Amino acid sequence: MACCKSGAENADSGMGVYAMYPSDYDDLKPYMEAAIKDYHKITTEHVAHVTNWDLDSVKDRLPPGGKLDLTKLGLGMTSMRVRVGRNLSSFPLPGAMTQDDRKNMEAEMVKAFKQLMEDPAYGGNYYSLTPGSPFEVSENFYKHLVKSHIMFKDMAADTYLASAGIASDWPYGRGCYVSADKQFIVWVGEEDHLRIMCMKKGTVLNEVFDRLNGAIKKMESVSGNFAHSKDFGYVTSCPTNLGTGMRASVHIQVPKLTAGGSDAKAKAVCKPLGLSVRGMGGEHTPIGADGTIDLSPSARLCIQEAEIICALYEGIRNLKAEEDKL
């Protein structure tokens, strides 16, 4: 079965399952739900995800005034990022897409991006890797985008994505939209059709969370319906990202927990706190020489978007307390 091909060929895979079509989560529900419950540690009989971006609904977890102000935790200007994965309901998921599917999906997104370009809040440029595209960029410019952490790398080198078919037909149907202020970016044709993200250096987490919420609504209004499951929330290629599809993160220095250049101790401390640790360039990249790590809540499914951003704020406070103990 195509869904489990990546896991069969990569024994060290954490999940080993990729959906090929949005309907797989319903058509293959007994199989999919068993894998999902095991990975996400869900103990109820069935998965029931609820989408909720309303911070007013989690007022009891917010500081007075409702602002998730990092200066109150002792931080200064901090690199903050919130992103979600989304897939258009009218196309197969990336693992089952043909080269024509990838080109057609990108063409649909170009129509949407043209509308975004006219919006002062999101105006910018689209950069395509597809040969012959009117928005095609040079190899050197692509490398510049990767080096600037704006664009994703060639996925062909990723054995998990290659086995799943997600990396096929590179570079057709791949590209990225970048706002003029470079704080709103949309990846096209990576692990999901779209990775929509907002980032900035600042001190209030609400700012990137609220902008992303607005950006997603704008994106769906101009690009068509996003694939959604009544049980599992927003559909993603990998079941690890189901539900919110969200990852909210900050770069934070923990030099004592990373003494010696290893993040092993930081990971050991973060895991029971429900936090994930990555390197400064993302998963499987090194931490900063000054002890900077990329910190994010681990949960994606059966947790609400508003809860994730609160969990990040609380996680920063808890991690700093562990750092201070040393």
Catalytic residue selected from 86, 102, 174, 278: 278
Torsion angle of the four alpha carbons 257, 259, 260, 266, in this order, in degrees rounded to the nearest 10: 10
DSSP 285: -
Q: Is 283 annotated as a binding residue?
A: yes
Residue 191 annotated among the catalytic residues of the structure: yes
Contacts of 31 (CB under 8 A, 6+ apart): 3
d(CA 51, CA 134) in angstroms, rounded, equals 37
Q: Is 178 annotated as a binding residue?
A: no
Residue 238 annotated among the catalytic residues of the structure: yes
Q: Is 86 annotated as a binding residue?
A: no
SS3 200: strand
Residue 278 annotated among the catalytic residues of the structure: yes
Catalytic residue selected from 83, 86, 211, 300: 83
Q: Is 23 annotated as a binding residue?
A: no
**Spatial contact of 41 and 301, defined as CB atoms under 8 Å apart:** no
Residue 83 annotated among the catalytic residues of the structure: yes
Catalytic residue selected from 86, 102, 211, 247: 247
Q: Is 45 annotated as a binding residue?
A: no
Q: Is 81 annotated as a binding residue?
A: yes
Residue 195 annotated among the catalytic residues of the structure: yes
Catalytic residue selected from 78, 240, 244, 292: 240
Q: How far is CA 147 from CA 24, 130, 143, 168, 315, in A?
A: 36, 19, 6, 23, 29
SS3 78: strand
Catalytic residue selected from 106, 190, 191, 307: 191
Residue 247 annotated among the catalytic residues of the structure: yes
Q: Is 249 annotated as a binding residue?
A: yes
Q: Is 224 annotated as a binding residue?
A: no
Tell how strand 228-229 and strand 175-179 pair up. unpaired
Q: Is 278 annotated as a binding residue?
A: yes
Which active-site residues does the annotation give? 83, 191, 195, 238, 240, 247, 278, 283
Q: Which residues are annotated as a binding site?
A: 79-83, 149, 195, 247-251, 278-283
Binding site residue list for ATP: 79-83, 149, 195, 247-251, 278-283
